Structure 1
């Protein structure tokens, strides 16, 4: 019996583990994660604003599929012996390994990150204070609008080098900027935070801005585990994979989601749930083909949208071309809210399904409902 080990139980790791288990009843599938709680990463901005989400235990989600859950943190991967050492001294053997550790926002002294559980408590204690959000990517925008809506007396400031929504078409971007203005979010562009203090941030132009809380949403950090194990990685530390999502240096290792440098005809995929889940579903099929003595098929992925929550009462969806450039179409308001909620809530439904998860989840198969022409 083959031992399949999945490291990381985020969206991608959970998708891969379930896909493998459903397709290979004679394989032992194990998923390793530091905690037993499944984190809904797409909804972290809601948690920051003080909203309570459901508590989902990984062990309970994977048990019906016959997947073994191990709570622990991977400390090292021994590719020669095909085992993973945990930081408490335990070891897990594998025949095939799925590397799904993902990425995170770098920790900056004096600032919170969106996944810090202490952030919500901090904001509740200062409902009329000043929040400074560094970085106007999707995480920064969603956090700023969610918190501004939840705490209308709070002064929310969004700082960024570029313009919020710069990846969107002009009309969707204008709608986004209108929502920021409506919620009273102060937007400052062309600036970078260089220092974070307890009571202020310092900009690259020397300006000092008073603040009660700083939220850091810019930058991406990949765990060094793959590089330390001797896997071929790119400059960012992501595992270099072939068309079938196998490590180019260690074919017994598959890498998916943010942890992998997945190249398509338009370039290397940037890490999002939108691309991570399809890569996980494809990896499950690729693992199955390897167990059957077949070669994996090439992975093909195209983007379809850029969904952005603007609090609980508004949203905007920019539909895209396959290379993530904006198309003519977008959704706004109630239609966008419904669309975004469906997208954010879908993974758990797949994990709990007793059917095999389809591998061809490239993002180009769904229709567009009620788009607004740009």
Structure 2
């Protein structure tokens, strides 16, 4: 054997040592990979690469809350049914060899597929083509409607209205003195709650006189889009994928929930209607209404209203969005319309 042989063997030995060390890698999650989408109720295995010869402990957390403490390197099982939909932040902190290190990952918990619905038109009613509809509710045998005021459209004003369903006649109207863009509304007892878009404020009106009797400031939700009432609290949208819960008497924000379907967060939630325990929401810019479980934010249904009102029938490409949902609880009738639409439609849902 010659010197070059021994040198080669020595070099291989050194590379082997460093090779072995490099395979250890860093302290990190092996599973799940960051951003992994999982179905609600799925059990996810949390597995780490731990590059230490011995450890004192590993602490596992979800969204900052400790879920497990271990003194070995075995994996941990995470049952997603114990957590809400959306992004769940995962972390693991290891204590080993007199040091500590931390690893991060995340998963996105999504619900199962929503039911899909088509529609059948049951009745058509006249609708004011100067009503830039933002809020709509059926009560006392009539419609209550709020409208906005897009600056590019002449003669279209912010208003609060009481409307005859069958004729479209405006029975009562109030045009606020303040210069604000009107948005969604709902009825709470003898009061109407009326949102502004960007003024960070909502108003209380007397339902009979249409006179303003109070106001409230928004909280974390900085804009007003849609509003409904579930019998105990107000539910508000702001164009995001969140529904905010407000005190029905004061308007104070008390919490929120994220809205998700099988594909991820559902944003652009607009006009709202509370119907038999679910929140129906227009998706701004689409001819779609989603049916939301307000307890967990799950989209349980999706109503496709494409073809209800088309350009061939006079619908414009802009400023003509589907917006406005009302429900006759006694007659089990569902009404929908849109901004500047000439008709309001009573529809029946057909499951696909």
- Structure of higher CA gyration radius: 2
**Which structure shows the higher strand fraction?**
2
Fold equivalence (TM over 0.5): no
- TM-score for the superposition, normalised by structure 1: 0.26
**Which structure shows the higher helix fraction?**
1
Higher relative contact order (CA 8 A, sep 6+): 1
- TM-score for the superposition, normalised by structure 2: 0.28
